[in-house]
Amino acid sequence: MENTMYEYQIVFVPVARLVMETYLVSMNTVAAGGLLLYDYLLTLDEEIKYVWKRKKTGISILFILNRYTSLVNSLLVFLEHIAWEDKSFYVSV
């Protein structure tokens, strides 16, 4: 009987670790996305005033690309986690 218990541990421990790591990655993704959104909302009025209402220069275009590339990336990562958690999303029979 002890041998059978050991076999269950061999299977269960890696699965439990994978579930825990997936959960932590999901929570970190949500937290990082929340902070990023908070930062965007805090500085949006200044961005409109100093970037969008002025003449476009190379620096302002670089700023816009840098700012919104990270926002799009965060959104795609968040959507990937939502799709990954919903297994029916991948099943097409």
Residue 89: predicted pLDDT: 47
pLDDT in tens, 19-51: 777 777 777 777 887 888 898 899 999 999 999
Residues 6+ apart with CB under 8 A from 30: 78
Angle between helices 58-85 and 2-47 (to 10 degrees): 150
9: pLDDT strictly greater than 60: no
Residue 42: predicted pLDDT: 94
Indicate the pTM of the whole model. Answer: 0.57
Residue 77: predicted pLDDT: 78
What average pLDDT does range 62-85 have in this prediction?
82
Q: Comparing 2-6, 48-52, 73-77, which segment has the lowest mean pLDDT?
A: 2-6
Residue 15: predicted pLDDT: 67
- For the chain, give percent helix, strand, coil, nearest 5: 90, 0, 10
Q: Are 51 and 64 in contact (CB under 8 A)?
A: yes
